[in-house]
Chains A and B, each alone.
Chain A
């Protein structure tokens, strides 16, 4: 009987998650011995792993079961997604090596087996379920499993729009001589406009940060001049004295990170040193550099200065602080939210505004979270969607964009485009 091989197939621990792959005829048996059962194929299942001999608890882990031949190696294949500490990984590897006819894989052994079973050419041909292999991170995986159908539907929508656009371009190219196809100049402009809109729609999906945000929290940076009340506001939001507050400008010198859950969403609030001309003080300068870096990486900026504009207005919620102070109960312009960290006034509105932003930054429950490979396909499709005055190049770009989407969900070939074309225009002599 062929050996069953196993190996750590993610990077070296420590890491957030470590993945161990087991391939071969005893892969299923190994899963059963560690978890007590064989999970439903191709579904991420949460389980407690126990050492088969001692019964000692090893880890709470996610396991996946891919019966052959429809697996990456073409054999029965199992995956364990562990918490990625060194000790945990080493302990599980030890338990596996104690199981009969399981051996540690030589480098490249998985690839060789995949090749032997004719799975090698599938690098491009895996179905969506195979994409699960590319996953590394468990929160994201569960989101993906739920959302798979959703992504296909979305991609299908884009494919249809692309097919429609291609059909129009092809009608102009192949049937230009027939009066029945619309006037050129005008329709080229309208085509380009619609290509830009489609590109923007795909961009929205690409911009959706998904997994990283779920895991690390949305980065909300409090920024503004010294003494604006940043640290006080942070403390008010956190409900505790996370940062030192004082009437002296320049109190906060380093960035302070405070993880917070609000309405079930994960956030990372970041207080920063006040921004100003600078006094030449070296520590102060470093603090401001860090503040700028935090602003650069922020998902949302709370900008506490009505006298200047945030460096990144599109990511900013503009605040009008100290709403309790004399004559400051009303914002001079309607776009700013009046808050008082002292009285708590306006905090509800601020939290609501933050949550609204959060909902654009997080995948909704059960919503589409792209994995790396899906993101790559989408990104290259998006990149191909360039407008151009040369219809031939527009057509070529659309073709490439379609091919990239096809890699996500399977092929929609030329015939589909022709169907769209003939359904839409009266062409032909």
Chain B
């Protein structure tokens, strides 16, 4: 009896935790299966959360009452708003986390979540019925869990191999095992599987670093946080430091290339272009005289330091030499050498836009298994997969976020339509409607959607409902209250005295009129949350551009309404090249607009598809 669940989630990483928690928030009875209870919520690599594009994802998951932002606030020992000097649309909140505090926070959040049960075991195989639908999961202990849907969030663990110089080990993370039998089962079901690699830098003993000679980077002032509902800035703040590689470092690396598995051919899989190993940087951009390296502490009472920027799989002796060639690191000790991991991932084009595996009803995939990299990317997919698995189990329509709604929508659309050629990481450049998809307005964009799918806890719902009221009232006031240019000028705001009268909202579009300027002529902002004021001021500032995008988006959404048969025989359509046919067959777009977004699909090809579909229907 106890082994019956609605939803079974495999993997206690960032994806799995969000999936399980989201499903449980929606009222499902959830099993979260992971190798080791203790490693649930572990950060495999750099203990940092957020950043450009990624910070957006964190805030979006938080808008659905997810875990990652609140846990990050609990663990943060360094806050930094990236791109702070630019428009809010490209500002990326980022924190440096104390690993232990982060894990503790996740454990607390999971333990407090009703309906969520942690099962410490290995997921060995899916159990399927005669029609290939998921019925549950067989565990290493022999136990069988039954469930209506399963979310796979196994990270880098499928058939994983680790490389450090010539040493090769089986395992998804140092000190942990690989998920072999589940990997074998997926391959046997003919799911399209690819292989990717990623790497991690060596960890240094902070007590052996000469901090005194290095440029310090303190935590941001101010009191912004990842989540409005977190504990605030709960932990003491540390500083990071910056050093650089130099000509000698590069010489050492070049001399060692013949011993790097990336260059000896031992690793064939593609790694990420935006997170290149230091070997790659030196080979591809040999003309540069140095690369910045950030030294980031891993925890409050943890001497480990993460040298951000020297991901490598060179042999340990070369790692030591190259680290010691840098300023401040002359006597640094490596505690754990860097290594590369090569692992299986599912071609995400085998999924539909709800993250369901098309070929196996009831199976969902989220996180690094889908070819992404990063905690935030994993968390966001976990959230959506958890919601959609629960919707599926309850016979409800899936939640599909479009590209105009969120970075989550952009990412999933990219994954399921384009597939991947390298580990996928979020970038603000991927979001064409970037101006409206800001980290600071994630709640406004998404929390009402979350509320509609029943994914909010009561504290979040209360917070949101009161925020909506304040926001509406504030907007009304800003639009109603009109002020003359003279009034501003008299208050010392630099505007031309041309006798014009405008609403406060319109005034906010002027470069010299910011929230502080408004407060000099009006009391509308008195006692209002500064975050809300900043959000509205940014909306006003970019209003004409937002309006233009709005019009574009209406067109986009209209095209989304032309469905394409998921079983369409693309080979029967004259005029499609082999390459197009293959891409369409892999991604199986659900609408004409989605087909049009697939790389290489021309307008002419779209018309051919449409005509064919209509002919068949007639």
Q: Mark B250-274, 1 if CB is under 8 A from A, else 0.
A: 0000000000000000000000111
With contact pairs A179-B244, A391-B86, A411-B596 given, residues A428 and B272 touching in the complex (Cβ less than 8 Å): yes
- Docked CA distance A178–B308 (Å): 11
Contact between A174 and B86, CB atoms less than 8 A apart: no
Closest CB-CB distance, B502 to chain A, in whole Å?
21
- Docked CA distance A317–B320 (Å): 74
Question: Which residues of chain A are near B607, meaning CB under 8 Å?
Answer: 70, 118-119, 122, 125-127
Question: Which residues of chain A are near B281, meaning CB under 8 Å?
Answer: 426
Q: Mark B272-315, 1 if CB is under 8 A from A, else 0.
A: 11111000010011001011101000000000000011010000
- Docked CA distance A396–B291 (Å): 30
Question: Which residues of chain B are near A180, meaning CB under 8 Å?
Answer: 285, 288, 291-292
Q: Which of B290, B311, B562, B599 is the one whose CB lies under 8 Å from A413?
A: B599
> Is B610 interfacial (CB-CB < 8 Å)?
yes
Q: Which of B294, B418, B601 is the one whose CB lies under 8 Å from A429?
A: B294
Number of chain B interface residues as a range: 35 or more
Number of chain A interface residues as a range: 35 or more
Contact between A118 and B611, CB atoms less than 8 A apart: yes
Question: Which residues of chain A are near B559, meaning CB under 8 Å?
Answer: 121
Question: Which residues of chain A are near B272, meaning CB under 8 Å?
Answer: 428
Stretch in contact with the other chain, from B139-147, B166-174, B426-434:
B426-434
Question: Which residues of chain A are near B542, meaning CB under 8 Å?
Answer: 392-393
> Is A314 interfacial (CB-CB < 8 Å)?
no
Question: Which residues of chain A are near B606, meaning CB under 8 Å?
Answer: 122, 125
- Docked CA distance A69–B273 (Å): 43
Q: Which of A69, A174, A391, A422 is the one whose CB lies under 8 Å from B52?
A: A174
Contact between B610 and A121, CB atoms less than 8 A apart: yes
With contact pairs A119-B611, A176-B82, A422-B274 given, residues A170 and B429 touching in the complex (Cβ less than 8 Å): yes
Question: Which residues of chain A are near B83, meaning CB under 8 Å?
Answer: 173, 176-177
Interface of A is mostly: loop
With contact pairs A396-B435, A426-B284, A426-B285 given, residues A126 and B244 touching in the complex (Cβ less than 8 Å): no
Question: Which residues of chain B are near A410, meaning CB under 8 Å?
Answer: 602-604
8 Å CB contacts to B: which residues of A105-125? Answer: 117-119, 121-122, 124-125
With contact pairs A415-B599, A422-B274, A429-B308 given, residues A74 and B592 touching in the complex (Cβ less than 8 Å): no
> Is A427 interfacial (CB-CB < 8 Å)?
yes
> Is A400 interfacial (CB-CB < 8 Å)?
yes
> Is A421 interfacial (CB-CB < 8 Å)?
yes
> Is B554 interfacial (CB-CB < 8 Å)?
no
- Docked CA distance A428–B604 (Å): 37
> Is A89 interfacial (CB-CB < 8 Å)?
no
Question: Which residues of chain B are near A125, meaning CB under 8 Å?
Answer: 596, 603-604, 606-607
Q: Mark A407-429, 1 if CB is under 8 A from B, else 0.
A: 00011011101100110001111
Closest CB-CB distance, A163 to chain B, in whole Å?
12
Closest CB-CB distance, B420 to chain A, in whole Å?
11
Q: Which of A121, A391, A393, A418 is the one whose CB lies under 8 Å from B427?
A: A418
With contact pairs A422-B274, A429-B308 given, residues A173 and B90 touching in the complex (Cβ less than 8 Å): yes
CB closest residue in chain A, given B603: A125
Q: Mark B334-353, 1 if CB is under 8 A from A, else 0.
A: 00000000000000000000
With contact pairs A180-B291, A411-B602 given, residues A118 and B244 touching in the complex (Cβ less than 8 Å): no
Contact between A173 and B428, CB atoms less than 8 A apart: yes
Contact between B86 and A176, CB atoms less than 8 A apart: yes
Question: Which residues of chain A are near B291, meaning CB under 8 Å?
Answer: 179-180, 426
Q: Which of A117, A126, A175, A393 is the one whose CB lies under 8 Å from B614?
A: A117
- Docked CA distance A105–B352 (Å): 44
- Docked CA distance A400–B433 (Å): 11
Contact between B292 and A174, CB atoms less than 8 A apart: no
> Is B548 interfacial (CB-CB < 8 Å)?
yes
Closest CB-CB distance, B604 to chain A, in whole Å?
4
Contact between A174 and B87, CB atoms less than 8 A apart: no
With contact pairs A410-B603, A429-B308 given, residues A418 and B285 touching in the complex (Cβ less than 8 Å): no
Contact between B613 and A118, CB atoms less than 8 A apart: yes
Q: Which of B308, B430, B545, B562 is the one whose CB lies under 8 Å from A121?
A: B562
CB closest residue in chain B, given A428: B274
> Is B597 interfacial (CB-CB < 8 Å)?
yes
> Is A208 interfacial (CB-CB < 8 Å)?
no
CB closest residue in chain A, given B309: A429
Contact between B275 and A428, CB atoms less than 8 A apart: yes
> Is A281 interfacial (CB-CB < 8 Å)?
no
Question: Which residues of chain B are near A417, meaning CB under 8 Å?
Answer: 429
Closest CB-CB distance, A413 to chain B, in whole Å?
6
CB closest residue in chain B, given A406: B603
Q: Mark A109-151, 1 if CB is under 8 A from B, else 0.
A: 0000000011101101111000000000000000000000000
Q: Which of B288, B308, B311, B432 has the most CB of A within 10 A?
A: B432
Contact between B87 and A428, CB atoms less than 8 A apart: no
Contact between A393 and B611, CB atoms less than 8 A apart: no
Q: Which of A122, A399, A415 is the one whose CB lies under 8 Å from B418?
A: A415
Question: Which residues of chain B are near A74, meaning CB under 8 Å?
Answer: 611
Closest CB-CB distance, A135 to chain B, in whole Å?
18
Question: Which residues of chain A are near B290, meaning CB under 8 Å?
Answer: 179
> Can you list 21 contacts pairing A with B, beta carbon distance less than 8 Å?
A118-B610, A119-B607, A121-B562, A127-B603, A127-B607, A174-B53, A176-B52, A177-B52, A180-B291, A393-B545, A396-B434, A396-B545, A399-B432, A410-B603, A426-B281, A426-B284, A426-B288, A428-B274, A428-B275, A428-B276, A429-B294
Known pairs A392-B87, A393-B545; list 5 more (Cβ under 8 Å). A174-B52, A177-B82, A391-B90, A393-B87, A410-B603
Give me the interface of B with A, judged by CB distance under 8 Å.
52-53, 82-83, 86-87, 89-90, 244, 272-276, 281, 284-285, 288, 290-292, 294, 308-309, 311, 418, 427-430, 432, 434-435, 542, 545, 548, 559, 562, 575, 592, 596-597, 599, 601-604, 606-608, 610-611, 613-615
Q: Which 10 A-B pairs have the closest CB atoms?
A: A118-B614, A428-B274, A426-B285, A179-B292, A125-B603, A392-B87, A127-B604, A170-B429, A422-B273, A429-B309
